[in-house]
Structure 1
Amino acid sequence: MTLGPLRLEIKRWLTARSERVKSVDLHSTEPWMLVSLYNGTVMVWNHDTQLKVKTFEVCDLPVRVAKFVARKHWIIAGADDMFVRVFNYNTLEKVNMFEAHSDYIRCILVHPTQPYILSSSDDMLIKLWDWERKWLCSQVFEGHTHYVMQIVINPKDNNQFASASLDRTIKVWQLGSRTPNFTLEGHEKGVNCVDYYSGGDNFL
């Protein structure tokens, strides 16, 4: 069976002059879209009105990822200066800033229930940060041999996550364990994205 290309209906256009867009995130309750840009800026847009709501000048280097943490009223951004920055999106105050990796930060994942974020980087590491313990790095996950491009939580098990790497593998990890549960191989080139299928069994 040959599958054709997936055709999606465009519901709404949002057009603005900007630098290259590196990441997009949607707020869980507000009609807001968070956009991180190559020029070091993070913007919040209202996708209903198509108006810009807020702008954060993060740094002078690309911001490759930014995420909402709605329960804390935060925006968390990871940039090419290897720092993670946390902003209150109501007051625009910078809540915290710390050096997270020794190379570019590719992905930030917010845990859905625990006070954790996971970050992945070109330094081939994944790190677990606990904001209730003053942003302590409580665990480091090692095993990839190239850039770790994306990480995603298993929607049916919040203690499990998967990572995609340019080493051509996907690894599945468990919080609290330093070694992966298993590794999926078979790609001929690097893997940039990974996600779980939310219906039925656990599929990647």
Structure 2
Amino acid sequence: NDFICFYDWAECRLIQQIDVTVKNLYWAESGDLVAIASDTSFYILKYNRELVFSHFDSGRPTDEEGVEDAFEVRHENDERIRTGIWVGDCFIYNNSSWKLNYCVGGEVTTMYHLDRPMYLLGYMANQSRVYLVDKEFNVIGYTLLLSLIEYKTLVMRGDLDKANEILPTIPKEQHNNVAHFLESRGMIEDALEIATDPDYRFELAIQLGRLEIAKEIAEEVQSESKWKQLGDLAMSSGKLQLAEDCMKYAMDLSGLLLLYSSLGDAEGVSKLACLAKEQGKNNVAFMCLFMLGRLEDCLQLLVESNRIPEAALLARSYLPSKVSEIVALWRKDL
């Protein structure tokens, strides 16, 4: 029982032997996809029909393991399936953790958490509902939009024009679900257009380097962490004006100090000194004043911050005329 053999129906010729312990087998109606369930996991395979027919038509001999590459592993998941059904290219199943999931193109989505063991009966397309039954013969239906399944199926088949025709029929609340699916397929631009959640759209915009879109979202959400993330990306991209705006919104004073000092922007450093002092960021304020050569203001800042010893050292090094005054304050402080 540690392998399964597939044969063609007409002449019982061996198509392929697959080394896996099989608990159950679920074929899609198209005959091109099959789910193989074992005790600990399941596999979704695609049947390469044309390759197999070509092999048999050529008259080449078939070895004991069948036709090479007759099946292609599309997806493997470490879940134990209780029951499963196919709807198009979508595999719906419930697992041993009492979750009702569906899998399209290798992406698994959890629809519902079940409160007891249940068994799949089928899917009614006209109602967009999947039905399950429990051991007491209670039948329960859950919504699974047919339009959503069709959209994902068409995307998997590469028929994007038809998929876009179906998209308007999918409710807005499901658009983030669609966007996550598209992202998993590497279609990040399309995911950004469809997604509605601001946080998710921001992450997609950052991935794509679409900084203006990310800025619009950050202005809408007003999140300090988003401004900082956008500012770092803008800085690394050389978009210094955007980086400055983001750092101001995020109150990233250290970042602004680095930016202004690198640009030699004395006016910016001066404004930053005032802002840092207002925000109680005395270290940044001191650095700004020191870079501007405003030594008396540096000294006054240290005194106001009750850092008299540092003020005394500064006076001894740069403002000898102030030493006696600062030493007197130091003695008084002691």
Normalised TM-score (structure 1): 0.50
Higher helix share: 2
Higher relative contact order (CA 8 A, sep 6+): 1
The structure with the largest strand share of the pair is 1
TM-score normalised according to structure 2 size:
0.32
Report which of the two structures shows the higher radius of gyration computed on alpha carbons: 2
